[in-house]
A = this chain, B = another copy of it.
Amino acid sequence: MFNFTLHNPVRLVFGKGQIASLANEMPAGAKVLMTYGGGSIKKNGVYEQVRQALKDFEVLEFGGIEANPVYETLMKAVELARREQIDFLLAVGGGSVLDGTKFIAAAIPFEGEEPWDILAKNAPIHTATPLGAVLTLPATGSEMNYSAVISMAATQEKLAFGNPKVFPKFSIVDPETTYSLPPRQIANGVVDAFVHVMEQYCTFPNAAPLQDRFAEAILKTLIEDGPKTLAHPTDYDTRASVVWCATMALNGLIGQGVPQDWSTHMIGHELTAFHGLDHAQTLAIVLPNLLWVLRDSKREKLIQFAERVWDVKAGTPEARLEEGIIRTRAFFEAMGNPTHLSAYGIESERFVDIIARLEKRGALPLGERQALSAEKLQEILTMAR
């Protein structure tokens, strides 16, 4: 096990009706900028619940944060917050709104020339405007971590940053607010959470049996409850289970002391940047092929994954390894996330551009053992057609 420091100060307030307690979590007297997305919160009642809970606060609003939140949009919120001297940001939405608001929080007091440097040049963040969140879409774990992924429209780039200064002070997570989400978004959330776990689990053994079992626990629960919550979207118990899995999948716990491999996400971000696919769709496309192409490098964990997560106990180790990947692909497909680009109508692929960009950024080879070379990447993308 590697040395590690675990520190997660987010207050996670989970359960039915918890938005009513929002005012208790807010700093007294704060001037608030409430951020949100395309307006679904105005249809599902969350907007009303939040405004009601904040009736004693001065609240400004900034709506219109996109899925895969866009730098150019977020900078308008930064200008507004600076002009209005906002004390506190309240993100109300899914991972995109939360990620975007983390970026706004870091950019408001940013002293460098261009806040994009936080993403492109790892520019230091000395302070950030405090933020809280009301989550309405289970997927990214953004409600309980300090990471964010932001896109620039002008350059078709999608980049990540992370800093403890943008941990939400609190996040309110009421599974009932997710009942009205379209099936595609729930399916995306399940796939996203599943792949978050895989990126922290499917590397090489590192004498971390508890981390392994925690990861397997989340995967098994998603496999069990993911299809159920698609079929019964208003069953509280199943939905709460999936939502809790999504938070635990990326709140920093299961990855402590173990190697990680964020290759699937890095490749997926490029597919979103160039082809406009949903984030989780790109993960469903990349992961099964990546596991297959890197099967030698990830061999021990792939066999363990097949045995413990998919209960594949028969056959040679090679056969079990392959069966685990086959079942993973079938799971994504069954959740409604095809695993080939062609299924999304994408034919004129941008593989050359993707590989060139990752090479230019010095990102290759990828993977916990640097086994993912440009050639392997080509192989993965070709399989993804």
Contacts and interface: CB of A to CB of B under 8 A. Distances in A.
A241 interface: yes
A81 interface: no
A346 to B, nearest CB: 35
Contacts of A18: 3
A209 B241 contact: yes
Interface stretch (A92-100, A218-226, A375-383): A218-226
Contacts of A3: 14-18
A6 interface: yes
Nearest to A3: B15
Given A11-B7, A12-B7, A14-B257, A1 B210 contact: no
Interface of A: 1-18, 207-210, 213-214, 216-218, 220-221, 224-225, 237, 240-241, 244-245, 248, 253, 256-257
A12 B5 contact: yes
In order of increasing CB-CB distance, the 3 nearest A-B pairs are A3-B15, A213-B217, A207-B237
B14 A210 contact: no
A157 B15 CA distance: 37
Nearest to A172: B5
19 contacts: A1-B244, A3-B17, A4-B15, A5-B12, A5-B13, A6-B14, A7-B10, A207-B240, A207-B241, A208-B244, A209-B221, A209-B241, A210-B217, A213-B217, A213-B218, A213-B221, A217-B217, A244-B257, A253-B253
B213 A220 contact: yes
Contact of A210 (B6, B11, B12, B218): B218
Contacts of A253: 253
Nearest to A175: B1
Contact of A245 (B12, B13, B210, B244): B210
Nearest to A242: B210
A294 to B, nearest CB: 25
Contact of A209 (B5, B9, B224): B224
Contacts of A245: 210
Contacts of A10: 7
A217 B14 CA distance: 23
A181 B253 CA distance: 28
A9 B9 contact: yes
A5 B1 contact: no
